[in-house]
Structure 1
């Protein structure tokens, strides 16, 4: 049984409890982070910690938890070698439900747990992902990593019903991102195109690293929206995220990307990112 972290204590997962009045439950006032774990160590935490601070500020949540220490202890207690560590911070649990937090403030609810997973040797890197296009319908602050994920859940369910792996959101004629990862293409010119970081997409930590690696490969990079038509004509397509690292996309809405197989540029980007992750 896993040990989880809850409000300053490490407890068995079946003993972890939160209040029915918790603001993360009643109002969705909660933010989260997911960090990859490789060789028993959380990776890229500097970037994840900076994004968590921005998310908490946007959601008006005050929290002074020493997350690096908590995460290290949690990984050690669970003997996790490879996988992910998830943490969540909510607006806390006042005495009753009210849109406004108590004037004197309330302690946040802080949660963290580990998930064992094979992220370095992921079979999806060999077969590639198949995705569908799905209308963008999320709220305006999707650049903040909040727990308001209902629309992503609905899109993932639609993808499963269609017999594919995931969905890419489309706003007008522009692809924004995947349901839980950033989306990119290698366009017909050989340029890596990625939606710019703004309110329309999450500022992904893996995305940040990916674009830096691409530039060291002398790969041209354009941070701009790309259209559905461009995605259909792309040489390669890919996603990036803490849970998936870098994975190829080989089919979009039933149409093969390129020759319908994972592309060489994506494979090299994934290889270099894993090397960087293991060395961090």
Structure 2
């Protein structure tokens, strides 16, 4: 069966799916997106994803193209057509199609694109052994809280990680503060205490990040949402990253510095176990 995409009201073969050459998402990165994990045919934390989508759209002076209920109906049909039960949904909303001009045109019909793809969980050996990351300069714009498709700086940072044969790149301000990874939130643990950058303009407030903070509260794990430096990260007992697709992945080396004992620590291990339990129990 052919892979099916959703493009502006039509369900169409993925190989034929396309938007207009003057779509502002294509020419100006004038668009936002969400990636939602699918488990057993259910969207994980879709309420939080739709809330963030609405916020991102509002920040770029747009409204939701249709209601959450309509979105869910369209996603359900896309899942049915693709016969997919586990994987991820990519959802993108651009300002629409208009002759190229920096000025925002009014009125304009938004472009909505949705695609599905199967995905595999992070390999167990990765979770058991942990991963290395590097640090790179954070050269992104100053509104990383908006989930914009303008990801070139992230793409180049990810390529740096690939070139260094590591899992991820943590982005660092000129002041030496770790903001986040290229597609993940950044965490450290010191004395059993969680530390992660506050959800301000410098980072995307990850949906999994929010879930982990809630789980930490339930477990009685103290946490701080505050900036932390690379130097502080080097001295951490544990470090890990989080995202909707990877959930949580322990970090055992940052640049050339071994973190803690060089193996996944107890806090990260417990948080991941509880997060997985939460997903499977809510979608049983």
TM-score bucket (shorter structure): over 0.9
Instruction: Report the equivalent of 1:9.
Output: 10
Q: Does 1:216 align with 2:218?
A: yes
Give the TM-score normalised by structure 2.
0.94
Offset from partner CA, 1:60-114 (integer Å, 9 cap, x none): 23333322222222122212222211100001012x21112333x1111101111
Give 3-state SS (helix, strand or coil) of 1:139's partner. coil
Instruction: Report the equivalent of 1:78.
Output: 82
Kept in 1, the 8 Å contact 2:34–2:53? The answer is yes
Instruction: Report the equivalent of 2:188.
Output: 185
Q: How many residues align?
A: 277
Kept in 2, the 8 Å contact 1:185–1:237? The answer is yes
Kept in 1, the 8 Å contact 2:192–2:267? The answer is no
Structure 1 unaligned residues grouped into runs of 5+: none
Kept in 2, the 8 Å contact 1:239–1:249? The answer is yes
Kept in 2, the 8 Å contact 1:92–1:109? The answer is yes
Give 3-state SS (helix, strand or coil) of 2:148's partner. coil
Q: Which runs of structure 2 are paired with 1:1-280 in the superposition (5 Å)?
A: 1-65=2-66, 66-94=70-98, 96-103=99-106, 105-119=107-121, 122-171=124-173, 172-187=175-190, 189-280=191-282
Change (3 A) 1:123 1:2: farther
Kept in 2, the 8 Å contact 1:82–1:119? The answer is no
Kept in 2, the 8 Å contact 1:40–1:79? The answer is no
Give the TM-score normalised by structure 1.
0.95
Structure 2 unaligned residues grouped into runs of 5+: none
Kept in 1, the 8 Å contact 2:131–2:251? The answer is yes
Distance 1:18 1:198 in 2: 33
Off by >3 Å, runs of 4+ in structure 1: 120-123
- How far apart are residue 123 of structure 1 and its match? 4.2
- How far apart are residue 197 of structure 1 and its match? 0.3
- How far apart are residue 25 of structure 1 and its match? 0.7
- How far apart are residue 31 of structure 1 and its match? 0.2
Kept in 1, the 8 Å contact 2:240–2:250? The answer is yes
- How far apart are residue 119 of structure 1 and its match? 2.4
Distance 2:127 2:26 in 1: 35
Distance 1:63 1:198 in 2: 22
Distance 2:176 2:60 in 1: 30
Kept in 1, the 8 Å contact 2:45–2:207? The answer is yes
Distance 1:129 1:81 in 2: 28
- How far apart are residue 220 of structure 1 and its match? 0.8
